[in-house]
Amino acid sequence: MKTIAIIPARYGSTRFPGKPLAKIAGIPMILHVWNQASKCKLVNDLIVATDDERIAEVVRQHQGKVILTSPNHPTGTDRLLEVKQRYPDFDIYLNIQGDEPLLNPTVPDALIQQLSAFESAEIATPICAISQAEKLLSPHVVKVVKDSSGFALYFSRQPIPYIREAANPTQWLQHHEFFQHIGVYAFKNKALDRIAILPPGKLETAESLEQLRWLEAGMRIQTIQTESPGPAVDTPEDLHNLEAQFFPDYKSV
C-alpha cells in the first residue's frame, strides 16, 4: 500500500517556543525526527508540515520536503488533513510527532503492516507497557485499554482500569498490565476523510485527547505493542536531559 509520512512541526509552543529548531547535539530537533523517519522501509514519501518559514528553511537545507500550512490548526491531525488535500492519492497517511527525536523507524513500518492486515481497522497506533507508578499517575502519560483483538476501547490521562482490590498504584501494577499510548498514527485514506468532518466530541473535550473524538464516532483504532519509546521533548529541561543521556560525548563549541 502506498504510504506517505507527515511530520507536523509547529513553531509556537506554550512550554517551549521554537521547539522544532532547538538543537540536540548541535542538530535541530526536526532534523533528528526527519532522519529517523527517513529510515522507515515502507514509507514512499516523507513531508514536514509546518506553519513557520524558519522551520521550512532548515528542512529545505537538509534536502527535505516541506509544506507550509495554516498557522490556525489546533492539532497535528488538522495539519495532516491539509497535506492530504494536496496529496490525496495515498493509501495510508502516517502522523509522526515532531518532538520524538529518537523515533524507532520500525514502529511506523509495523503500523503500516498492521493497518494493511486488518480490513476493519481504520487507524493504527503503538502502545507500550507501563512499569512505573509515576508514569501511571502522570496526566501527561496517556493510558489506553484495549479489547482481546487489540482494538482500543478508551484513552485517558487517568490510570485505567481502576483496580478496586489494590490500595495504591504500585499494587495496581502487580495486579494488572497497564499500557501507555505513543502518539504516532497511521490512517487509511477514507478514515482521514471521515475525521475531516467529525465535530469535536464530549469525551475529547473532557480529556483533551483528539483520538477520543474518533472512538466516540465509532471508528476502529488498532493498537500494536512495542517497546517503550525514547523520551519526547516537551520542555527545555526534557531536551537537556535527553542530550545528557543519549549524546553524552557531545560538547557545544
pLDDT of residue 50: 94
**Residue 29, amino acid:** M
Residue ranges of the alpha helices (H) in 99-175?
106-117, 133-137, 169-175
Question: Which band of pLDDT confidence, cut at 50, 70 and 90, is reported for residue 13?
Answer: confident
106-121 burial string, b = 16+ CB within 10 Å, else e?
A: ebbbbbbebbbeeeeb
Query: What are the CA-CA distances from residue 146 to residues 64, 104, 135, 172 (Å)?
Result: 37, 23, 18, 17
Q: In 3D, which of 246, 13, 63, 65 has the Cα closest to residue 22?
A: 13
Q: How far apart are the first and last CA of the chain?
A: 45
Is a pLDDT exceeding 80 seen at residue 167?
no
pLDDT of residue 252: 64
pLDDT of residue 251: 73
SS3 assignment, position 240:
helix
E runs forming strands in 62-205: 66-68, 92-95, 123-130, 143-146, 152-156, 178-181, 185-188
pLDDT of residue 234: 83
Contact 173, 131 (CB under 8 A): yes
- Render pLDDT for 50-108 as a digit per residue (tens, 0 to 9): 999 999 999 999 999 999 999 888 888 988 999 999 999 999 999 999 889 999 999 99
Q: Is the peptide bond before 161 cis (omega within 30 degrees of 0)?
A: yes
What domains does the chain contain, in order, with CATH numbers?
1-103 (3.90.550.10), 120-180+201-230 (3.90.550.10)
- Render pLDDT for 178-219 as a digit per residue (tens, 0 to 9): 999 998 999 999 999 999 999 999 999 999 999 999 999 999
Q: In 3D, which of 78, 111, 90 has the Cα closest to residue 4?
A: 90
Question: Which band of pLDDT confidence, cut at 50, 70 and 90, is reported for residue 126?
Answer: very high
Query: What are the CA-CA distances from residue 13 to residues 74, 95, 195, 199 (Å)?
Result: 12, 19, 24, 24
pLDDT of residue 203: 96
